């Protein structure tokens, strides 16, 4: 790789001309495809942002100029250019570099991110702090058009009062109304020319110095310019919010990008640059199916085929939901821009009138679902556990207080592996346990998931949540059948050692049961409310171990402990769960072991080894 071999920091880009930078972009794409095919990751979004990132580091001086990537799932080029090229092969591996921006990795990663629509707000805060401290340098927020479906982005844009702020709108799906016509394109080319900008600045300063009438002429010219732009540009939304707007610009044309960024850097006013890019650029399979390659596991480079296949809880959820919708016209499906990830593609095709993708707007999704329910529909909101966190107030105020029937399919609950701290589904149990008028189920197997969906629709009065893990189901015990009870007991009920658990963790506990003496398992199928009669199962227990794939503080195990105390159960009680920390990226198997939730750790814990 002719150029990538010696590009070790953003400073090295300053020595390259545009043709050489183009070659560098091709080399970066090849490296990206090779590593992601082995490690998994967010490929399509990163392939689309290569030229933009190279241009940013060519024009600006990071970290003095601070670049904030929204979500951070398009920062691979940034990582390669900021000293992590040699460690890029460790992307998303245990002990390796993160798939998102992380300040503990590099001074060039200004903000830790993993959730959408946060960049503008954080960038405004960074820019304002620079101003207050008298520091020079720009703050650049890179945000995708998808993230502009989230309300937080607009709260930030509406609060724009910074002269040192630049917002890059990376538009790869034209969700913003396109500017139409050759005139708009030509005007943008002129306005983003450094020569034009320099000439304009000199003329403006000259006119302003004319005695008595200079400032009046300048104001008149500015007003005329604004009127012309509004006539030529069909979209003046960002100008109305106080930004100098440039665009749309070809996001894969390095010369145009560098010119536009150079002009923006010279401005003493907030600027928004609107660029158009192609998701998956440079890799045919990713360009054809950007949704599949948005977040993908290991795949075959030659064919684009994922290496891991098979039914998952997400697909099982989607299949069951279609089955219920076939028989019940009230059933609706809601997603926050995650129809593929949550298994709703089939539903969206078969029942498009009852399928709602509201964009990356989890708060709206929850309250919208409440409205559907209030008027007699039965909405299922399928959402990753980590993203449900964003709508806690709506869960309380618009769901529980209204006591409406909305069913939450909480996907990716528990450990999620290589996505790391921002995506672990470990907090939902703690915040859901605190909400009245809400029933929470935790299936271990696909048939339990379907049965709990049925219970949520037809047997429960208010809102329900069903939390299930990423990936497939574990092996079932021979002869196992779900009894639709709040809990199930396995093993010798007269034993003096009881293991209590729920969801996927049951598989680890059951595997340990044969090795443990005089022990039995209480598997909670419904974790909220915990059925009080479970106490009767513990009358002979001298030791109770609660194993939980979730955060310890406020988790199900703590509520179970309260139930024991209220019923004067005097057995020794141990609660094994994730303590007060964020779980780093690693294979799920490794995460189970680290937090003493794997089979061998359970055996060791019970045997005091």
Question: Could you give the residue numbers annotated as active site?
Answer: 279, 362, 390
What the block records as the tokens of 181 is 């016509």
Of 157, 152, 77, 68, nearest in space to 111 by CA: 68
Of 480, 479, 456, 478, nearest in space to 467 by CA: 456
- The CA-based angle 512-515-521, given to 5 degrees, is 50
Pairing of strands 487-491, 519-524: antiparallel
Q: How far apart are CA 433 and CA 551, in angstroms?
A: 12
What the block records as the tokens of 109 is 């990663």
Of 350, 370, 375, 346, nearest in space to 358 by CA: 370
Distance (Å) of CA 133 to CA 136, 137, 311? 9, 12, 55
Q: How many residues does the chain have?
A: 609
- C-beta pairs of 97-100 under 8 Å, 24+ apart in sequence: 98/420, 98/585, 99/41, 99/42, 99/72, 99/73, 99/418, 99/419, 99/420, 99/585, 100/71, 100/72, 100/73, 100/75, 100/420, 100/422
**CA atoms in the 13 A half-sphere facing the CB of 319:** 11
Contact 467, 384 (CB under 8 A): no
Distance (Å) of CA 214 to CA 200, 210, 219, 457? 15, 4, 9, 72
Distance (Å) of CA 247 to CA 148, 166, 184, 306? 16, 13, 8, 36
Strands (E), 146-270: 165-171, 244-250
Distance (Å) of CA 3 to CA 20, 26, 91? 8, 10, 21
Of 413, 356, 402, nearest in space to 379 by CA: 356
Helix (H, G, I), strand (E, B) or coil at 396: helix
Q: How far apart are CA 363 and CA 403, in angstroms?
A: 17
Of 415, 452, 587, 569, nearest in space to 500 by CA: 569
């Amino acid at each position: 790789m002719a150029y990538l071999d010696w590009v070790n920091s953003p400073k090295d880009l300053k020595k390259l001309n545009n043709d050489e930078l183009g070659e560098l972009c091709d080399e970066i794409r090849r490296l990206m495809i090779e590593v992601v095919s082995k490690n998994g990751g967010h490929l399509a979004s990163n392939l689309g942002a290569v030229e933009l990132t190279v241009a940013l580091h060519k024009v600006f001086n990071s970290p003095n100029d601070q670049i904030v990537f929204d979500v951070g799932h398009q920062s691979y080029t940034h990582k390669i250019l900021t000293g992590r090229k040699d460690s890029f092969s460790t992307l998303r591996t245990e002990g390796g570099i993160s798939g998102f921006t992380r300040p503990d990795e590099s001074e060039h990663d200004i903000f830790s991110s993993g959730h959408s629509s946060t960049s503008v707000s954080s960038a405004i805060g960074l820019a304002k702090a620079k101003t207050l401290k008298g520091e020079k340098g720009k703050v650049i927020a890179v945000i995708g058009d998808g993230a502009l479906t989230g309300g937080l982005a607009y709260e930030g844009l509406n609060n724009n009062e910074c002269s040192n702020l630049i917002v890059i709108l990376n538009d790869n799906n034209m969700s913003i109304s396109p500017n139409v016509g050759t005139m708009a394109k030509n005007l943008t080319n002129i306005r983003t020319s450094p020569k034009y900008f320099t000439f304009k600045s000199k003329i403006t300063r000259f006119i302003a110095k004319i005695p008595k009438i200079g400032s009046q002429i300048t104001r008149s010219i500015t007003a005329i310019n604004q009127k012309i732009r509004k006539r030529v540009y069909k979209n003046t939304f960002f100008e109305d919010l106080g930004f100098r707007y440039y665009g749309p610009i070809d996001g894969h044309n390095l010369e145009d990008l560098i010119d536009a960024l150079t002009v923006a850097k010279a401005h003493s006013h907030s600027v928004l640059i609107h660029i158009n890019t192609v998701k998956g650029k440079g890799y045919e399979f990713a360009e054809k199916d950007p949704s599949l390659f948005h977040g993908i596991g290991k795949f075959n480079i030659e064919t684009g085929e994922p290496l891991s296949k098979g039914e998952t809880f997400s697909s099982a959820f989607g299949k069951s939901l279609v089955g219920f919708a076939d028989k019940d016209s009230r059933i609706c499906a809601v997603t926050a821009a995650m129809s593929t990830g949550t298994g709703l593609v089939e539903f969206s095709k078969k029942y498009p009138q009852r399928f709602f993708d509201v964009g990356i707007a989890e708060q709206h999704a929850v309250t919208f679902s409440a409205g559907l329910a209030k008027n007699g529909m039965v909405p299922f909101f399928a959402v990753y556990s980590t993203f449900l966190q964003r709508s806690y107030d709506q869960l309380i105020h618009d769901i529980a207080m209204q006591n409406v029937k909305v069913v939450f399919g909480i996907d990716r609950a528990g450990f999620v592996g290589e996505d790391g701290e921002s995506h672990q589904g470990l907090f939902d149990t703690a915040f859901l346990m605190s909400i009245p008028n809400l029933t929470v189920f935790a299936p271990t197997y696909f048939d339990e998931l379907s049965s709990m969906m049925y219970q949520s629709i037809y047997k429960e009065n208010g809102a329900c949540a069903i939390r299930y893990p990423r990936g497939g189901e574990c092996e079932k015990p021979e002869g196992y059948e779900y009894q639709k009870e709040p809990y199930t007991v396995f093993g010798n009920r007269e034993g003096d050692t009881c293991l209590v658990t729920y969801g996927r963790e049951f598989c680890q506990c059951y595997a340990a049961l044969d090795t443990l003496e005089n022990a039995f398992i209480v598997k909670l199928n419904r974790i909220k409310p915990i059925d009080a009669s479970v106490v009767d199962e513990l009358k002979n227990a001298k030791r109770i171990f609660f194993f939980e794939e979730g955060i310890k503080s406020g988790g199900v195990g703590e509520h179970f402990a309260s139930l024991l105390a209220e019923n004067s159960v005097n057995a020794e009680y141990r609660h094994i769960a994730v303590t007060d920390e964020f779980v780093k990226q690693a294979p799920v198997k490794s995460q189970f072991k680290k937090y003493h939730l794997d089979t061998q750790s359970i055996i060791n814990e019970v045997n005091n080894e």
